Chain A
Amino acid sequence: MAASEGLLQAVAEAIGDGLLATDEDRAGAPILVVERGSLLKVCRLLRDGEWGFTHLSGVWGVDYLAMGLEPRFAVVYYLYSPSLRSRVAVKVPLEESDPVVPSVVEIFPTANWHERETFDMFGIRFEGHPNLARILMPDDATIHPLRKDVPLGGEEVEFTHNAERIRRQRAAESPEVSRN
């Protein structure tokens, strides 16, 4: 990662306080934690700058709820530079109350479906996305399944020790179903 020193410096110069922290993943790729206001600027700099991070591998979310970290969400972008043959990650932390991040579709058209998937799975909204609709889940789904507070199974299994509580819960949620 010969480029990583100069890269961090250039990013810090370009966006100043927008660069919240830097880290490294276990494969040695630098992670730039940036504020969402600086995201587009960083993406343009990485794509058009001397490093040539022209390939966006993907966009995805992480929900840190169960780890107890603040803020709750993060959106992760992994970029690849064919000339340097190395990767860099950009990470944007997002508050639970306001999970909105600018869309990078203008800069990387491939992000279109990736951002839709992240919206579908986490409920993170991408401002400026041409068609931010669910992509994998049904249109009428009410949950964002990869959030940590969505259980893996849809329903808790009834046993003698929890049957009473589950029935009470169901009755409270939808009275007409549980009457039978």
Chain B
Amino acid sequence: MANEPQIQQDDEVMLLNMGPQHPATHGVLRLVLALDGEVIRECTPVIGYLHSGFEKTYESKKYQQCVTLTDRMDYLNPLGNNLAFALAVEKLLGVEAPPRAQVIRVLLAELTRIQSHLVGLGSNGLDLGASSPIMYAFRDREMLLDIFEMVSGQRMMTSYIRPGGLAKDIPPGFEEAVQRFIDYFPEKLDEYHGLLTRNPIWMDRMVGVGKLTAEQCLELGVTGPMLRAAGIPRDLRKDMPYSGYESYDFQVVTRTESDCYARYLVRMDEMRESLKIVQQALNRIPDGPYVLDDFKHAYPPRQLISDQMEALIHHFKLATEGYRVPPGEVYSAIESPRGELGFYIVADGSGKPYRVHVRTPSFTNLQCLPVMAKGGFIADLVNMIAAIDPIMGDVDR
């Protein structure tokens, strides 16, 4: 696709095309490699195979319809993407979600982080030929997907967090289901540590592989677990708190080695920290409305539509025209499982966004792959990709 790379060929160098259909590239990523024996001289990522024109599509959708596009960009972080978009639109509207919605948002965003890291862990194992971690990880992820299905009716494309609050209230049995997971999961995490962390093969393949200095990470705009594995404690949940993250007690996990092993450990420890946040959120879900009771922005409850003329009118107006967002622009970012996920929205006063740009962490983080791969072995390449944990839908949008 875009930009066929020009790589100097000589007798020593072999050009190898890897992807876009390759099981270990985590999607349709294509890499053009210049190889000297087994050593990578140069690695050029070629992206765009999953370009689906999300940013253009946003411009033709009403704000409430846009929510459904956000979770389709990163299928491992649906609720986080919903949240990032909702926060940006709320800033444009000048409103804030009610406290009950805020706490449930944090709870779900952290559960999403855990399930994303679980898939990252499982597929990293698979890339290195260990096929049991993915079975274990998917087993636990299933519990989380059941919780998402419980609240939103969907396992992955949740569209549950909306501007103004949530799509509907949490169902009965939700708290018990989350508590069951909190009680169940720490033991399993220990099991994964036992399975992998001191495993000699795992360590051989991970320690010292894909090293990047902190300076390189900063220059390349890397964010998220990759940057924290380079010893830089940057986390938007702490640095620019949103949805009340400042009131939760958790640590920003860092390592200093900045290799694939450090990134793996950061993600493992982040799951434990996320679990801490989930427990705190679960203990403090307040009573009250789950969405703004201003029917100019949120659908009135079904019962009210049958009873009140005004509610019916509001429903009709919202469904046909959407709500109008006052003119202005905003950039608002959250800490997704992969790093800084930001929505830039220009509103022109109508019911549809004028321009939406999504600053996705996968796109920016993938830029460091050529730097990381240079001089490494081709056998380690899939490992390095797994350590970036890119989602191609998030890269290409």
A137 interface contact, C-beta 8 A: yes
Check B309 for interface membership: any CB of A closer than 8 A.
no
B8 at interface (Cβ–Cβ under 8 A)?
A: no
Bound complex: CA A109 to CA B51 (Å): 23
Contact B2 A120 (CB under 8 A): yes
Q: Name the residue of chain A whose CB is nearest to the CB of B57.
A: A152
Query: Per-residue 0/1 for B91-118: is the Cβ within 8 Å of any A Cβ (1 yes, 0 no)?
Result: 1101000000000000000000000000
CB <8 Å contact, B331 and A29: yes
Max chain B Cβ within 10 angstroms of own Cβ: one of A26, A109, A113: A26
Tell me which of B17-25, B69-77, B339-347 binds A.
B339-347
Q: Are B331 and A89 in contact (CB under 8 A)?
A: yes
**Interface digits, B140-169 against A, CB 8 Å rule (1 contact, 0 not)?**
000000000000000000000000000000
For A56, the closest partner residue in chain B by CB is B221
Question: For residue B359, which residue of chain A has the nearest CB?
Answer: A58
Complex Cα distance A146/B364, Å? 20
Q: Is the CB of B59 within 8 A of A57?
A: no
- B2 contacts which chain A residues (CB < 8 A)? 120, 133-139
The minimal Cβ–Cβ distance linking B347 to chain A, given in whole angstroms, is 9
Are B51 and A110 in contact, CB atoms less than 8 angstroms apart?
no
In the complex, chain A residues whose CB is within 8 Å of the CB of B332: 27
Which A residues are CB-close (under 8 A) to B364?
58, 110, 113-114
Chain B, 318-371, CB within 8 A of any chain A CB: 328-333, 340, 342, 344, 346, 348, 354-355, 357, 359, 363-364, 366-367
Interface: A43 (CB within 8 A) = no
Of the residues A78, A85, A110, A138, contact of B48 by C-beta under 8 Å? A138
- Tier of interface size on chain B: 35 or more
- B-contacting 9-mer, from A11-19, A61-69, A165-173: A61-69
Instruction: Give A89 Cβ to nearest chain B Cβ, in Å.
Output: 7
**Closest-CB distance, B61 to chain A (whole angstroms):** 10
Q: How far is the CA of A134 from the CA of B46 in the complex (A)?
A: 10
Q: Any chain A CB within 8 A of the CB of B47?
A: yes
Please tell me which one of the listed residues B47, B57, B239 contacts residue A82 in the complex, with CB atoms under 8 A apart.
B239
Within 8 A of A (CB), among B9-50: 47-48
Contact in complex: B330, A27 (CB < 8 Å): yes
Q: Known: A58-B364, A85-B239. Is A25-B330 also a contact (CB below 8 A)? A: yes
With A25-B328, A89-B331, A134-B2 as given contacts, are A57 and B367 in contact (CB-CB < 8 Å)? Answer: no
User: With A and B bound together, what is the CA distance between A82 and B234 in angstroms?
Assistant: 8
> How many Å lie between the Cα of A85 and that of B367 in the bound state?
24
Q: Given A26-B329, A146-B56, check contact A60 B367 (CB 8 Å).
A: no
CB under 8 Å from chain B, chain A span 34-73 = 54-58, 60, 62-63, 66-67
**Hey, what's the 0/1 contact readout for A137-148 against B, CB within 8 Å counting as 1?**
111000001100
Docked pose: A112 CA to B366 CA in angstroms: 12
Cβ–Cβ contact A136 & B344, under 8 A: no
Given the interface pairs A67-B348, A136-B47, A152-B60, the reply to whether A26 lies near B328 with Cβ below 8 Å is: yes
Q: How large is the interface on A (under 10, 10 to 19, 20 to 34, 35 or more residues)?
A: 35 or more
| A87, CB-defined interface residue at 8 Å | yes
Using known A-B contacts A55-B221, A63-B355, A134-B2, determine if residue A27 contacts B367 with beta carbons closer than 8 Å. no
**Contact between chains at A60 and B357 (CB < 8 Å):** yes
Q: Are A113 and B91 in contact (CB under 8 A)?
A: no
Q: Is the CB of A138 within 8 A of B1?
A: yes
For residue A29, which residue of chain B has the nearest CB?
Answer: B331
Cross-interface CB contact of B92 among A26, A66, A85, A86, cutoff 8 Å: A26
Interfacial chain B residues near A114, Cβ < 8 Å: 364
Q: Which residues on B sit within 8 Å (CB–CB) of A60?
A: 344, 357, 359
A9 on the interface (CB 8 Å rule)?
Answer: no
A57 to B234, CA, bound (A): 13
Docked pose: A112 CA to B370 CA in angstroms: 13
Cα separation A3 to B4 with both chains bound (whole Å): 44
Q: Is B218 an interface residue (CB 8 A)?
A: yes
Closest chain-A Cβ to B298's Cβ sits at a distance in Å of 19
Q: Are A26 and B60 closer than 8 Å at their CB atoms?
A: no
Residue contact A109 to B220, C-beta cutoff 8 Å: yes
Q: Which residues of B contact A152 (CB under 8 A)?
A: 56-57, 59-60
The answer to the question of B3 belonging to the interface, with a C-beta cut-off of 8 Å to chain A, is yes
Q: Are B344 and A76 in contact (CB under 8 A)?
A: yes
Q: Does A131 contact B (CB under 8 A)?
A: yes
Also in contact, A139 and B1, with CB within 8 A (given A87-B331, A145-B53): yes
A-chain residues with CB within 8 Å of residue B397 when the two chains form the complex:
136
Whether B195 sits at the interface, judged by CB under 8 Å, is: no
Contact A26 B219 (CB under 8 A): no
A62, A85, A136, A138: the one within 8 Å of B346 (CB)? A62
Binding site for B on A (CB under 8 A): 25-27, 29, 31, 54-58, 60, 62-63, 66-67, 76, 78, 82, 85-87, 89, 108-110, 112-114, 116-117, 120-121, 131, 133-139, 145-146, 150, 152
Could you list some 15 contacts between A and B, CB below 8 A? A25-B330, A26-B91, A57-B331, A58-B357, A66-B354, A76-B344, A78-B359, A108-B221, A109-B220, A113-B364, A131-B3, A135-B2, A135-B48, A138-B1, A139-B2
6 A-B pairs with the lowest CB-CB distances in the bound complex, closest first: A110-B221, A133-B3, A26-B330, A136-B48, A58-B359, A134-B2
